[in-house]
Structure 1
Amino acid sequence: MAIQEVEAESISKLIEIILEIQGQLPVEHNLWFRGVGNHNHKLLPKIMRGNKSSEQVFEREKRLVTRFRQRSMAYWPEGYPQNDWEHFFAMQHYGLSTRLLDWSENAFVASFFAISYMPNENADEIVYPIVWCMDPVKWNRSMPGLSEYGDSIRVLTTVDDEIEGYRPETTKRRSRSPVAMFGAHNSDRIVAQRGTFTVWGSDTQDMESFADAQQPTLLWKIKLTGERSRLYKDLQALGFSETMIFPDLPSLALELDRVEGWRE
């Protein structure tokens, strides 16, 4: 089974499940986490949603990277590095469409993102928050194009030869499968969130489809079935709230408004 689905009605049960999964992995492997507020949402980057072809994706990316570089120069501090990867991570941070999908090394961060999403109250279907888990090393070793390297493949970085086919402005043949990579920690938020990424190649399938094509379990999908407000209060009691995830004044205002609103 390539995707294992389980349920957790509380934060304590969620952590119990995560620790159980972690205990099945090699000692040197650590899980990554992604919080999704709607169980129907797929693991797919923004730029690839809507059944776009790879040609459409890369044409749009080329224009976005170019325009972002052209128009953002005045906003960077003097001496800010201007290579393509750092622009790419900055674009993701500020909400532009990219081939990157955010993950975290911190389970509480992912839980916060899952729980803080507020679904439409008038929707016919009940929407559940999800905490996804993945072993990034096992994922990379299972992807076509990297699996041939065996145990020498771990989480990729921007200087690894194997990542060249994923570069925003690569002149080489595009790699196909999404892979796990470390990115530039170029903002207070990504540092606080222990941010990591998966980056897509030329194949526009979601991660679930890639996982289904493999034999080992590559993804764990934990559905949070408890009341969102209760789950959020439990996270807050553990010290994980807006200002823990987003260390700035707008987040302080949002945190105070949300907490006081639930108390009324």
Structure 2
Amino acid sequence: MNEIKSVSDYVDYLDTMKETYPMQRYVVPATFFRGQSNKEWKLSPRLYREKLFGQEGTMIKEIVHTNPKEFDMGRFDVLAKLQHFGFPTRLLDVSSNPLVALYFACSDKNEMVNDGAVYIFPNLPASWSDDPLVDLVMDFIFEHTSNSLWLEEFLRVTKSKYSNVTTRLMPDTIESLLWDLNIPAFAVVPKKNNSRLISQEGAFFLFGMQTVSKKSSDNPGTYGREYYSFGPIEMEDHKKLWHVSEKVIIPAKYKKKILKQLDLMGINEQRLFPDIEHQLKYILEKYKNEKNA
């Protein structure tokens, strides 16, 4: 596994990758990058890590109903905003800028003694946030507060709702619906409607789920209906998300050096987090470091 000791090492590695995968940034498919400060961490969204999958729909519904003006927007935008505020969602932050991912692989002060990692996903097919496939997952999240789902009814509503969709093949059988819901994760390019997304050149991986069980109802009112239960997907290997993805390691002893190099290039907390709290924090840290130099 490749180790990165400097920004120049990283750029050289990306140049080598481009010979195999001519990477694109500003079109779809696109290349995405994910930096994590601990190489042992799995690629998993916070909702799944904190085992809150079963409460997802209920939590979001309560938030939207108690803060209607704050969340008067499209459903994917609601998820993106919750992610922005640090609330557990099934989104995982990625960037189209490789230097931004390198920064996040090095910047967590609680993980400075651990090796970091950058995941590279070259030419990954991506959806816009208003794509019908994205909307299908939003239907599951926002319309169903139970993990036990009568898929026949879900499919009927889906076929009616998306009957005029011509941009992609929408599910028309239980099997094809399950296929879409069970996609491990896919990239979504959001509306750039906040300064942090713009600064970080951000996008998201929207995680799917796995079918846990299928059970026929024996209740008198729903007798014979088949209900499917779902659970969070387990992402043990980054190649399960994208088969040509790569992982590079950032040894702990080089993190501070790389952060200094990135700072000279304008990739720092002040640039990536334009809110006043992070601006003040960056300036304070800068003067502390100068004093201790």
* TM surpasses 0.5: yes
| Alpha-carbon distance between aligned partners in 2 of 1:210 and 1:234, rounded to the nearest angstrom | 28
Would the aligned equivalents of 2:235 and 2:241 in 1 still touch at CA under 8 Å?
no
State yes or no: 1:257 paired with 2:284. yes
| Alpha-carbon distance between aligned partners in 1 of 2:65 and 2:6, rounded to the nearest angstrom | 47
Alignment of 1:232-243 (within 5 A): 232-243=259-270
Q: Percent identity?
A: 21
Match of 1:39 in 2: 39
Q: CA separation of 1:130/1:262 partners in 2, compared to 1, >3 Å: closer, same or farther?
A: farther
| Alpha-carbon distance between aligned partners in 2 of 1:158 and 1:205, rounded to the nearest angstrom | 21
Match of 1:181 in 2: 188
Q: Which structure would you say has the larger Rg?
A: 2
1:160 pairs, out of 131, 135, 153, with: 131
| Alpha-carbon distance between aligned partners in 2 of 1:212 and 1:202, rounded to the nearest angstrom | 13
Q: CA separation of 1:66/1:209 partners in 2, compared to 1, >3 Å: closer, same or farther?
A: same
1:209 maps to a residue whose letter is D
2:62 pairs, out of 56, 63, 67, with: 67
State yes or no: 1:222 paired with 2:271. no
Superposed displacement of residue 83, structure 1: 2.6
Per-residue CA deviations over 1:144-170 (Å, capped at 9, x if unaligned) read xxxxxxxxxx31123323334322336
Superposed displacement of residue 11, structure 1: 1.1
Match of 1:21 in 2: 17
State yes or no: 1:205 paired with 2:233. yes
RMSD of the alignment, in Å? 2.4
TM-score by length of 2: 0.70
**Greater shift after overlay, 167-176 or 7-16?**
167-176
| Alpha-carbon distance between aligned partners in 2 of 1:23 and 1:70, rounded to the nearest angstrom | 50
Match of 2:222 in 1: none
Gaps of 5+ in 1: 138-153
Q: CA separation of 1:69/1:213 partners in 2, compared to 1, >3 Å: closer, same or farther?
A: closer
| Alpha-carbon distance between aligned partners in 2 of 1:229 and 1:209, rounded to the nearest angstrom | 28
2:85 pairs, out of 77, 94, 102, with: 94
Q: What secondary structure is seen at the aligned counterpart in 1 of 2:115?
A: coil
| Alpha-carbon distance between aligned partners in 2 of 1:37 and 1:44, rounded to the nearest angstrom | 14
Match of 2:98 in 1: 107
Q: CA separation of 1:15/1:207 partners in 2, compared to 1, >3 Å: closer, same or farther?
A: farther
| Alpha-carbon distance between aligned partners in 2 of 1:207 and 1:31, rounded to the nearest angstrom | 19
TM-score by length of 1: 0.77
Per-residue CA deviations over 1:22-44 (Å, capped at 9, x if unaligned) read 33214655421111111111100
Report how many residues are paired: 229
| Alpha-carbon distance between aligned partners in 2 of 1:210 and 1:27, rounded to the nearest angstrom | 18
1:134 maps to a residue whose letter is F
Superposed displacement of residue 213, structure 1: 8.9
| Alpha-carbon distance between aligned partners in 2 of 1:180 and 1:230, rounded to the nearest angstrom | 31
Superposed displacement of residue 248, structure 1: 2.3
Alignment of 1:112-127 (within 5 A): 112-119=103-110, 126-127=113-114
1:8 maps to a residue whose letter is I
Would the aligned equivalents of 1:22 and 1:31 in 2 still touch at CA under 8 Å?
no
| Alpha-carbon distance between aligned partners in 1 of 2:288 and 2:20, rounded to the nearest angstrom | 41
